[in-house]
Each structure stands twice: as C-alpha cells, then as structure tokens.
C-alpha cells in the first residue's frame, strides 16, 4: 500500500510539473489563444479562421494556440452563424479571444469576444485554468491543408459576409495591440513576459 501511495504522489507531482502554461510566441511572431469556456452546445464544433485560412475546429471546452505574423488580422468563427474580430497584433505578444456559445435555431451560435487581460480578469482566470489543465487543440499540416481545401467556398462566403458588414459599418469587435497578456511574476521574482 505504501508503494502505491508513493507512486501516486510521484505521478501527481509529475503531472503538476508538466502542467501547461501560457507561452510566448516564437521570435518575430505573435500568438493568439482562442478559448471556448462556455458549456452550451458542448457537442457542436466551432470552426476558426484567420481571414482566408482555416486554423482549426473543436467542440466543448478547449483552446487553440495560434502563432501568426504580427499586424492586421481578421479572425472569425463559424457555427450556425459567423462572427468576426479584427486584430492588430504586435510581435512577441500574447493575445486572447473567447469563443462564446449562444443558443441558436438549429445548433449553437458562436460569438467571438476579444479579451483584455487587465480588465477581463474573471474570464482570464478561467482561460488560465483551462490552459493549465488541457493541451491545446493541435492539427497536422496535412489536416489543415485538407480542411482549407474543403472550406474554400465557405471561406469565400465568410469573407464576403465580412465585407458586407464593413460596408454597412456594422460594429465588429477589435483586439488592439495594447490588449496583450503579461505573465504574472513568479513568487519572489520580478520576471515578466
């Protein structure tokens, strides 16, 4: 019994040490975490895009860690509807978008919300907890290539819809450069991202 207890303690300690954390992007890149925290429509896949590029899909709680070039982006998601967030990203910075499920007519709708880590502390705690407990959704290059080809017509329609919203001057939420995440300093440390 003592050996089983020691083995369990060792395993839990190792699991704790291996916990995920929010990590900065590679040199010269920006990183965006797209996190789904709500439980409505948990079985419904939301598909995510960076302008004309499919970047992943998943259902339920989870997140995508997406490294990209700094500068202007149009992130969008598709479920029963489409929703958009424009972004101006700075190299070396970490940003967050929350994918919020809402009641739809046939299946869940998706609403994308830019997260300001300084102001949106409640949602940041949820996202930080999610990241620490779950691995990011990951996709092979072959899968992304196949999905981009499969989504080609929907991507075109999504971009046309975005342009219609812009031409009608509809409000589209924006993730600005100053909405980046600063990693909390470790106890006894002054280190920041």
* Helical ranges in the chain per DSSP H: 2-17, 121-133, 141-150, 152-167
Query: If you ran DSSP here, which 8-state letter would residue 184 be given?
Result: P
Structure confidence at residue 19 (pLDDT): 62
- pTM, to two decimals: 0.85
**Each residue's pLDDT tens digit, 122-150:** 999 999 999 999 999 999 999 999 999 99
10-40 pLDDT, tens digit each: 433 333 344 689 999 999 999 999 999 876 6
Name, in order, each residue with C-beta under 8 angstroms of 88's C-beta and a sequence gap of 6 or more: 71, 72, 73, 174, 175, 176, 177
- The two three-digit tokens of residue 129, written as one number: 């907890």
Token pair 């920006």 in the structure block, residue: 30
Q: Where are the domains of the chain?
A: 21-175
Give the CA diameter of the chain.
Answer: 70
């Amino acid at each position: 019994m003592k050996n089983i207890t020691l083995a369990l303690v060792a395993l839990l300690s190792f699991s704790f040490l291996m916990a995920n954390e929010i990590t900065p992007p590679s040199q010269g890149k920006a990183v965006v975490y797209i996190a789904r925290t709500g439980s409505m429509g948990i079985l419904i896949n939301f598909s995510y895009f960076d302008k004309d590029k499919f970047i992943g899909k998943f259902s339920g709680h989870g997140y995508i860690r997406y490294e990209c070039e700094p500068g202007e982006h149009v992130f969008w998601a598709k479920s029963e509807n489409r929703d958009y967030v424009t972004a101006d990203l700075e190299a070396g910075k970490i940003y967050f978008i929350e994918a919020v499920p809402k009641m739809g007519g046939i299946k869940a709708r998706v609403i994308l919300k830019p997260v300001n880590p300084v102001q949106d502390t409640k949602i940041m705690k949820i996202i930080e907890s999610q990241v620490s407990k779950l691995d990011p959704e990951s996709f092979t290059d072959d899968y992304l290539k196949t999905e981009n080809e499969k989504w080609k017509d929907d991507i075109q329609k999504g971009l046309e819809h975005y342009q219609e919203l812009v031409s009608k001057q509809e409000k589209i939420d924006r993730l600005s450069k100053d909405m980046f995440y600063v990693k909390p300093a470790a106890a006894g440390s002054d280190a920041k991202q």
